[in-house]
Structure 1
Amino acid sequence: MIREQHEVSVLGGPQNPAPVMSTVVQVQADTVVPDHIVWSLFNTLFFNTCCLGFVAFAFSVKSRDRKMVGDMIGAQSHASTAKCLNIWAVILGIFMTIGLIVLLVFVLPGILQNVMPNRHF
């Protein structure tokens, strides 16, 4: 059986009579970088025109990763790109939705009336 012995030595006060210096690190809490991840997820699911919602979601995740590492400049850059892509995804998605409604309401009945002249829609 092996026994280990530990020696504990008590150290006295500081050897140097100079005053003790301390360093204070201030973290700026007001630097909040929004990553727009919820908006990007919404656009990915509902307004994914030309895959802009998915690409915006990828940049949002990159922004969140940069924020976790502490790179606020990189996080801001990716968040800005995600925001721009989200805006374009919403605009194009709304235009395509309006175009589809116009197509279904005005164009499709005319085409059906020409194809089947016996029926009235």
Structure 2
Amino acid sequence: MIKEEHEVAVLGAPQSRRPLTTTVINIRSDTAVPDHIVWSLFNTIFLNWCCLGFVAFAYSVKSRDRKMVGDITGAQSYASTAKCLNIWALVLGILLTIGSIVLLIFGYMAVYQTVFLLMQEKRGH
């Protein structure tokens, strides 16, 4: 007989007649996973260069879905991807918006100078 079997045999049956009950305690983790959905929505509406804002919004929704199901690891993974895409969308959006404004200003200046020179030529002839 093994040592554990011998100890069980010596102890015998439980002393009380009531049934054994178990208690299960579910402890919810306090890990808050940000899904960045508001940031993604902002980037989708205002800074959607190369559709990065829309893709970030899709990943944010996936992160929120995973969080609702209870898959914290999956939610963190999707949230991390959404955050990265949001950063890229924001940076590219700002740079391309500033670049577009600068190009418009230079374009208007070139047109103005061309029209100004043509008007001077007309007056000269």
Normalization by structure 2: what TM-score? 0.74
Task: State percent identity of aligned pairs.
Answer: 62
Q: Any unmatched runs of 5+ in structure 1?
A: 1-14
The count of corresponding residues between Structure 1 and Structure 2 is: 104
User: Which has the larger helix fraction?
Assistant: 2
Runs of 4+ in structure 1 over 6 Å off: none
The alignment yields a C-alpha RMSD, in angstroms, of 2.0
Point out the structure with max Rg over C-alpha. 2
1:95 aligns with 2:107: no
Question: Hey, what's the Cα distance between the residues in 2 that align with 1:24 and 1:48?
Answer: 46
The answer to whether residue 23 in structure 2 is matched with residue 22 in structure 1 is yes
Deviation by residue 1:57-87 (Cα, 9 ceiling, x = unmatched):
0000000011111111111010000000000
Unaligned runs of 5+ in 2: 1-15, 121-125
1:58 equivalent in structure 2:
58
| TM-score of the two chains, using structure 1 as the length reference | 0.76
* Counterpart residue number, 2:108: 108
Q: Secondary structure at the match of 2:119?
A: coil
